[in-house]
Structure 1
Amino acid sequence: MASDLLPDIGTLIKKQGYRLAGSHSAVKTCLWMRRAVREEGECYKARFYGISSHRCLQMTPTLCCNQRCLHCWRPVELDVPTPQKWDSPVEIMGSSIECQRNLISGFGGSASRELWQQANEPAHVAISLSGEPTLYPYLDELIEEFRSRGVSTFVVTNGTVPETIKRIKPSQLYMSLDAPERQTYMEVCSPKDPCLWDNINESLSILKNKECRTAIRITLIKGVNMFDVKGYADLIRKAQPDIIEVKAYMHLGFSRNRLERDAMPGHEEVLDFANQLGCELGYEVGDQVEISRVVMLFRDGKFVASKLPV
């Protein structure tokens, strides 16, 4: 979809169920959070990592991104300007929690009262809603603010800002890896700067020495990046992550304007790719969730999940 056919970012995020937190952050309740508070199931991350889906806050400290990925469900065609002034971590944390409470305020009649009350006090934050969180210059301080409240944190990054990746210490650091080499990366992620592939390789090396739990996530798009298992393995070997998540692209949101429905691989195809990757790297299948078309690989013969550290 051309950018001139899209509304402004404020109109768009409101229409999609977001709430603006402060001047440049945003919050949105995910499908699994809403299901969990109604006792209708939980996200695969509850099974893999022990989080409580109904107490999970999904947010981003910035809507800006430096990639325009084919598979992204966000409107990447719409440029979001860099804020002239950044909100403080304290402001973002407080406004994000308040937004979450506002978003679930109407759940009281259709949800478990006990679960709804618990949901008003987030125990986990997924910093992965939209945009690239490492573009927020105080991300390390934001993580520490959440930690001070006993809230565990996931950060999902595209790996293009290695200097921020060096500093941050979330409970779990996810890095997306959506291509086995530069040319495919350029086609899949459409980076605003072609040098970002070099940054990604630097970030992979940084992950190797991180003290927090680390994960590489591969989103498989059939006919686009679902090949060259050895190429992926060679890159992942630099990072030596604790966990590898291999997940199917899902035909959702604005990605439907860029990809056909048959670009979604089936769960068995994801599992086969994950098994091949595990064989290359010496990782084993730790778990899988068919409804989410996701497979988790872990290393060293140890299952590292269960309770997520704060």
Structure 2
Amino acid sequence: MLPLNVKSLLEKQQYRIVGRHSAVKVCYWTRQRLTQGRACYKELWYGNVQSHRCMQMTPFLGCNYRCAYCWRIHSGDRPEYVWQEYPAQLSELDDPAHILEEAVRLRRSLLIGYKANPLVDQKVFEEALKPSMVTFSLTGEPTLYPRLGELIGEARRRSIVAYLVTNGSMPEVLENLNPLPDQLYISLQGSNEEAFKKVARPLVKDAWQRLVKSLELLSSLTGVRRVLRITVVKNINDSDAEGYARLMSIANPDYVEVKAYEWVGESQSRLPKNAMPWMSDIVALSEKISGASGYVKRGEFEPSGVVLLSRS
């Protein structure tokens, strides 16, 4: 699926390729929890998260969006890195159990160096080697992996909490997903079709309509915590609080995260530094969205530039 030079680049960036089409990487907040005792906002807000035991991975490295804010490299970002990212050409899919087992093993190999670090509590280190949670995100679009439901089932059989982050481009997958994850995120790249296309740069023609369909489906799901994540890019998708409120009314999420784009990785070649909002910008926008939607502010976490809203 990936050319050798792309695999090599990802491995230099501390990704580990799992089988034919998956990858795992140690999350920044796992490292922070190990060395500094700091927890990510998900641990502070959602309760079933332990930052040092959260495995961040993707079952599918390809994506049908080319989001301007994405930190990873897209095909064509640099002349030497060009490949068919979507639709992917796969002759065979990896087994879900194998993907999960290999991801755990490779994550452990990335963590092993922390054992000798004097800043790391050994009990916390030993716990970190055994993930209690998996987030299907990291890179690519997880719902493009046709056996995603089985993969979530494999996590559940191992008593691993599963979070799924999707761009909402595959409503037919969400409609038939069984079992559902413990927490389901749908990302919002814009409050209207014009802003959405500027940020998401989708490779599918009807991406906006498919996103709206996914939002409609989200409102009907039960037994799963439902979250919308708005990634804010300054001067592109940061001015239409009423538009976001309309999308929220369609999806009826339990929570909404209003989160600042971070000027990191490959996104630095696509967006100017001043496209990254200040925390004050995020607070101001979240207050407008709150006023337009009736959702109330539940918390803010400046290290990640995020504000949490929930139904009152």
Range into which the TM-score falls when normalised by the shorter chain = over 0.9
Equivalent residue for 2:45, pick from 37, 44, 48: 48
Determine whether 1:259 maps to 2:268: no
Q: Give the superposition deviation at 1:7.
A: 7.5
**TM-fit CA distance, 1:279:** 1.3
Contact map agreement 1:186 1:194 (CA 8 A) in 2? no
Letter in 1 for 2:242: K
Q: Is the 8 A contact 1:64 1:82 kept in 2?
A: no
- State which of 276, 282, 289 in structure 1 corresponds to 2:301: 289
Amino acid corresponding to residue 128 of structure 1 in structure 2: S
Is it true that 1:188 corresponds to 2:185 in the alignment?
no
Q: How does 1:148-159 map to 2 (within 5 A)?
A: 148-159=157-168
SS of match in other structure, 1:208: helix
Partner residue in 1 for 2:5: 8
Which residue matches 1:214?
Answer: 226
- Measure how far apart 1:49 and its partner are: 1.2
Q: Name the counterpart of 2:253.
A: 241
**Structure 1: 5+ residue stretches without partners:** 1-5, 302-310
State the secondary structure of the residue aligned to 1:8: helix
- Three-state SS of the structure 2 residue aligned to 1:274 is helix
Query: How far is 1:294 from its partner?
Result: 0.2
1:118 correspondence with 2:127: yes
Displacement over 4 Å in runs of 4+: none
SS at match of 2:116: coil
Relative distance call for 1:256 and 1:7 in structure 2 (3 A) is farther
Q: Please tell me whether the aligned partners of residues 60 and 129 of structure 1 are also in contact (alpha carbons under 8 angstroms).
A: yes
Could you give the per-residue CA deviations for residues 162-185 of structure 1, whole angstroms, max 9, x where no partner exists?
011123310100000111111221
Q: Identify the residue that residue 66 of structure 1 maps to in structure 2.
A: 64
Equivalent position amino acid for 1:115 in 2: V
How many residue pairs end up in the alignment?
295
- Is 1:166–1:206's contact at 8 Å kept on the other side of the alignment? yes
Q: Is structure 2 residue 19 aligned with structure 1 residue 22?
A: yes
Deviation of 1:201 after TM superposition, in Å, equals 0.6
* TM-score computed with the length of structure 2 as normaliser: 0.92
Matches within 5 A, 1:48-197: 48-50=45-47, 51-77=49-75, 78=82, 79-80=84-85, 81-110=88-117, 111-168=120-177, 169-197=180-208
Q: Please report how far the alpha carbon of residue 217 of structure 1 lies from its aligned counterpart in structure 2 after TM superposition.
A: 0.3
Distance in 2 separating the partners of 1:222 and 1:23: 36
The residue aligned with 2:78 is none
Task: Kindly state the Cα deviation for residue 144 of structure 1 after the two structures are TM-superposed.
Answer: 0.9
Structure 1 CA distance for aligned equivalents of residues 90 and 71 of structure 2? 23
Contact residue 39 and residue 112 of structure 1 kept, 8 A: no
| 1:85-135 Cα shifts (integer Å, max 9, x gaps) | 110111111111111111101110112111110011100111111000000
Matched AA of 2:307: V
> 1:8-38, CA deviations, whole angstroms, 9 ceiling, x for partnerless residues?
3211211110011122110000111011122
State the shift of 1:82 in Å: 3.5
Alpha-carbon distance in 2 for matches of 1:39, 1:265: 26
**Matches of 1:68 and 1:184, distance apart in 2:** 14
Partner of 2:289: 277
* Two-structure CA RMSD over aligned residues (Å): 1.3
Distance 2:104 2:195 in 1: 38
Q: Distance in 1 between matches of 2:268 and 2:166?
A: 22
Mapped partners of 1:276, 1:82: distance in 2: 44
% identical equivalent positions: 38
Q: What SS does the corresponding residue of 1:108 show, helix, strand or coil? A: helix
- Report Cα offsets for 1:205-228 as digits up to 9, x if no partner: 000011111000000010111111
SS of structure 1 residue aligned to 2:220:
coil
